[in-house]
Amino acid sequence: MQLSLGFSPCPNDTFIFDALVNGKIDTEGWQFDTRLEDVETLNQWALQGKLDITKLSFAAGLRVADKYRLLNSGSALGRGCGPLLIAREPLSPEQINSLKIAIPGENTTANLLFSIAYPDAKNKEIMVFSDIEQAVISGKADAGVIIHENRFTYQQKGLVKITDLGAFWEEKTGHPIPLGGIFIRKDIPEATAQKIDALIANSLQFAFGNYPALAPYVKEHAQEMDEQVMRQHIELYVNDFSMDLGEQGHKAIEVLKQMASL
């Protein structure tokens, strides 16, 4: 019994899925054809229904609700972990509206949050998230929306924070920030979906049980190779919501859906 599974090579995802895909827990006969891709690639693939199970930006999940349903485990959702708008020097909101902004994908939650905060900023350029810092440094972009481990490195490179888009969201809504979740195709039986959901939770529980040790799988795929940054990344994006979205998590996603439709 095999299903295709896609998630990002970022430490939070490899931390969650390591035990599941590398035989460290009993998968009860399930095997996974695993694809590690940038989240925007996974977002695009979901529009085609390409993978059985996939990590998606919640903004993209809203767009593919006809094809995929959200699982309860494996999500990135929390407080103080949102995307940041950064630049080479301080900028006013009025300046942002007329400048070129690098974003990590049209379908990302980061782009949705930026659009809510700066609805008049239309000059955007889509880039792979890991290229945005350098694009801002070089002047290819005037500012950029950064996610993942770049939160921990931009200051070292002389860049400044313009807006914490996660803090903006929390102040506006009072809810934690729903960044990304694990989705499964709707044509897969409900009993199978529930089993996969439980296996993801078991995989994460295994990872938590061995932390702060980092599995070779996490180190191998991390774009930022400093182990302290990997741990910062995991501690920021993997939490109780990753085990179980719960009522609070589902409410935050519902508010994002409402905001996206405005």
Flag whether 112 is marked binding: no
Catalytic residue among 148, 221, 233, 250: 148
Provide mean pLDDT across the span 110-115: 94
75 φψ region: left (φ > 0), alpha (ψ -120 to 50), beta (else): beta
Task: Give the start-to-end residue ranges of the domains of the chain.
Answer: 2-78+176-260, 84-173
Is 3.30.2130.10 the CATH number for 2-78+176-260? Answer: no
Full-model pTM = 0.91
Percent share of the chain, pLDDT over 90: 86
Provide mean pLDDT across the span 102-115: 93
Contact assessment for residue 184 and residue 196, using Cβ atoms and an 8 Å cutoff:
yes
Write out the two tokens for 242: 């990753």
Provide the pLDDT confidence category of residue 153 given band limits of 50, 70 and 90.
confident
Give pLDDT tens digits for 14-54. Answer: 999 999 999 999 999 999 999 999 999 999 999 999 999 99
Flag whether 57 is marked binding: yes
Whole-number pLDDT of residue 31: 96
Asked if the domains 2-78+176-260 and 84-173 are classified in one and the same CATH topology, the answer is yes
Flag whether 110 is marked binding: yes
Q: Mind giving me the DSSP string for the chain?
A: -EEEEEE-SSHHHHHHHHHHHTTSS--TT-EEEEEE--HHHHHHHHHHT--SEEEEEHHHHHHTTTTEEE-SSS-EEESS---EEEESS---HHHHHHS-EEES-TTSHHHHHHHHH-TT---EEE--GGGHHHHHHHTSSSEEEE-GGGGGTTGGGT-EEEEEHHHHHHHHHSSPEEEEEEEEETTS-HHHHHHHHHHHHHHHHHHHHHTTS--HHHHHH-SS--HHHHHHHHHHH-SHHHH--HHHHHHHHHHHHHHHT-
Looking at this protein, which amino acid is placed at residue 198?
A: A
Provide mean pLDDT across the span 137-150: 92
Flag whether 199 is marked binding: no
Provide mean pLDDT across the span 221-236: 85
Write out the two tokens for 60: 């993209």
Percent share of the chain, pLDDT over 70: 98
Whole-number pLDDT of residue 223: 65
Per mean pLDDT, which range of 71-75, 111-115, 227-231, 244-248 is the poorest?
227-231
Separation CA 127–CA 105 (nearest Å):
6
- Examine the residue annotation and report whether 148 is marked as an active-site residue of this protein: yes
Assign domain 84-173 one CATH number from 3.40.190.10, 3.30.420.40, 1.10.10.10, 1.10.3720.10: 3.40.190.10
Flag whether 92 is marked binding: no
Whole-number pLDDT of residue 229: 86
Provide mean pLDDT across the span 90-98: 93
Provide the pLDDT confidence category of residue 250 given band limits of 50, 70 and 90.
very high
